[in-house]
């Protein structure tokens, strides 16, 4: 069973790539070089040559203004390996310092889908109460209000569910990308980013790169399997930017966002929230009470994405594009909002058992990827270390009979 620190670190590793956290991740100022956990045997370094070389590489680095690439380039391969291994070990001193960072806690907003639900005090055990109190201390994002969906679109989606390939795996890709961006910026919901901030531009750019079928008007990409989704998404990250541990955590997020609730409340008086740009002209009939729909969380993902791109359009011309560029014209956010409304109609028109099966498949793949990552890590740790560098696995050539 995983302990609390393992769970917290595993979930927040993607957010640790955020530029605001880099000074915390690289405590390499000149006055702390001798104590740096990233430098193996720093306390045993002897000779003025070593000290001068170390200060030359790291002493002039301004952590307040240096980019991620500049700080990473300043480290030697051995120092990088030690740092990455420190992050992979939840009990390491560096990992614990990151988790306990006061600045990190102040600036981070936990995902809205992880907000703890209140339980009667007499139904909470002591251990559960401690865990609940720790979670309540954090700040969680508010649930996005759900967009209004034309009834005719839902009816069309229901009628065509068996006539053409469903967009369920595309939907899973959207949820994975949404979880990544939410954790990368440590903000929730995404539409809560202040208007005019560069983070809005960057969030739209990342989403456009990860799920180009969303922003490309002419896209006909329909993922036919979860493996297709994983392979495609993984290929869109820069080398070394994504790991199996990161991706496993994102898959668990996606499974949570995709899974329909087992029990839903029936409250006909609860109105749905209308997004003006996602209404279809000439259609005024909309699905009622979507806030209590069994797939409300999935609908909130689509709504938040729609709001984010609309907010980006109000800040000026669309600053996002496909990577690599494949079009001379940039997609209009209004078009993206319409496409997200279409996906929302697909969700409402899809039977819950299908969505539950999709969520279960994603959850199983997350656990499998996590297990494989742990097995690989254990195998690496067994390899001998020569001159401070862990050796690579030997290539075995066996005769197949």
> Which helix (DSSP H) or strand (DSSP E) does residue 126 occupy?
helix 126-137
pLDDT tens readout for residues 76-130:
777 777 776 666 555 566 666 665 665 566 667 899 999 887 544 454 455 555 5
The reported pLDDT for the residue numbered 269 is 39
Q: Provide mean pLDDT across the span 24-39.
A: 45
160 Cβ neighbours under 8 A, 6+ residues apart = none
pLDDT tens readout for residues 177-190:
999 999 999 899 99
* Maximum separation of any 2 CA atoms in the chain, in Å: 79
Range picked from 32-41, 103-112, 206-215, 330-339 for highest mean pLDDT: 206-215
Asked if pLDDT for residue 148 goes beyond 60, the answer is yes
Asked if pLDDT for residue 388 goes beyond 60, the answer is no
| Of 401 and 102, more confident | 102
**Nearest to 237, CA basis, from 247, 227, 249, 226:** 247
Round to whole Å and give the CA distance between 81 and 375. 18
The reported pLDDT for the residue numbered 374 is 78
DSSP for residue 390 = E
Q: Provide mean pLDDT across the span 14-19.
A: 47
The reported pLDDT for the residue numbered 64 is 66
The reported pLDDT for the residue numbered 368 is 95
Round to whole Å and give the CA distance between 307 and 385. 51
Q: Provide mean pLDDT across the span 13-31.
A: 46
| Of 215 and 159, more confident | 215
Sign of CA dihedral 358, 234, 73, 84: positive
> Which helix (DSSP H) or strand (DSSP E) does residue 389 occupy?
strand 389-390
Q: How far are the Cα atoms of 6, 32, 386 from residue 45, in angstroms, in the given order?
A: 32, 14, 18
Round to whole Å and give the CA distance between 225 and 208. 21
The reported pLDDT for the residue numbered 397 is 38
Q: In this structure, how many other beta carbons lie within 10 angstroms of the beta carbon of residue 118?
A: 9
pLDDT tens readout for residues 322-362:
444 444 444 455 899 999 999 999 999 999 999 999 999 99
pLDDT, averaged across the chain? 73
> Which helix (DSSP H) or strand (DSSP E) does residue 186 occupy?
none
Q: CB-hemisphere CA count at 13 Å for 12?
A: 24
Asked if pLDDT for residue 304 goes beyond 70, the answer is yes
Round to whole Å and give the CA distance between 184 and 65. 19
Using alpha carbons only, how large is the chain's radius of gyration in Å? 24
Asked if pLDDT for residue 136 goes beyond 90, the answer is no
**Nearest to 188, CA basis, from 198, 196, 199:** 199
The reported pLDDT for the residue numbered 80 is 74
Q: Provide mean pLDDT across the span 305-310.
A: 94
Asked if pLDDT for residue 22 goes beyond 60, the answer is no
């Amino acid at each position: 069973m995983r302990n609390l620190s393992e769970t917290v670190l595993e979930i927040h590793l993607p957010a640790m790539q955020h530029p605001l956290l880099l000074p915390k991740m690289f405590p390499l100022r000149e006055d702390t070089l001798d104590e740096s956990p990233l430098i193996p045997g720093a306390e045993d370094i002897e000779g003025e040559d070593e000290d001068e070389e170390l200060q030359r590489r790291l002493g002039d680095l301004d952590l307040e203004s240096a980019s991620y690439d500049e700080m990473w380039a300043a480290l030697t391969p051995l120092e990088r390996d030690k740092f990455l291994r420190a992050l992979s070990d939840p009990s390491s001193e560096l990992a614990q310092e990151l988790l306990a960072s006061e600045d990190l806690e102040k600036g981070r907003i936990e995902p809205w889908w992880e907000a703890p639900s209140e339980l009667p005090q007499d139904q909470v055990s002591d251990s559960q109460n401690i865990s609940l109190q720790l979670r309540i201390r954090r700040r969680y994002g508010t649930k996005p209000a759900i967009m209004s969906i034309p009834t005719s679109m839902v009816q069309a989606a229901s009628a065509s569910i068996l006539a053409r390939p469903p967009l369920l795996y595309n939907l899973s890709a959207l949820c994975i990308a949404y979880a990544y961006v939410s954790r990368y910026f440590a903000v929730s919901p995404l539409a809560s980013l202040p208007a005019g901030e560069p983070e809005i531009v960057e969030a739209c750019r990342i989403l456009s790169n990860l799920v180009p079928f969303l922003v490309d008007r002419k896209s006909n990409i329909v993922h036919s399997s979860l493996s297709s989704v994983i392979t495609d998404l993984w290929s869109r990250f820069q080398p070394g930017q994504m790991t199996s541990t990161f991706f496993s955590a994102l898959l668990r997020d996606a499974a949570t966002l995709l899974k329909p609730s087992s029990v839903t409340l029936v409250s006909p008086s609860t109105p749905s929230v209308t997004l003006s740009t996602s209404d279809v002209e000439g259609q005024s009939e909309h699905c009622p009470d979507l806030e209590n729909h069994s797939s409300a969380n999935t609908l909130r993902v689509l709504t938040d994405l729609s709001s984010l791109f609309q907010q980006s359009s109000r800040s000026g011309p669309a600053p996002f594009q496909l990577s690599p560029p494949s079009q001379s014209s940039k997609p209009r956010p209004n078009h993206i909002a319409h496409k997200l409304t279409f996906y929302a109609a697909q969700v409402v028109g899809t039977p819950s058992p299908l969505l539950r099966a999709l969520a279960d498949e994603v959850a199983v793949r997350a656990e499998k990827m996590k297990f494989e990552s742990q097995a690989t890590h254990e195998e690496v740790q067994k390899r001998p270390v020569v001159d401070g560098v862990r050796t690579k696995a030997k290539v075995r050539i066996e005769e197949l009979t």
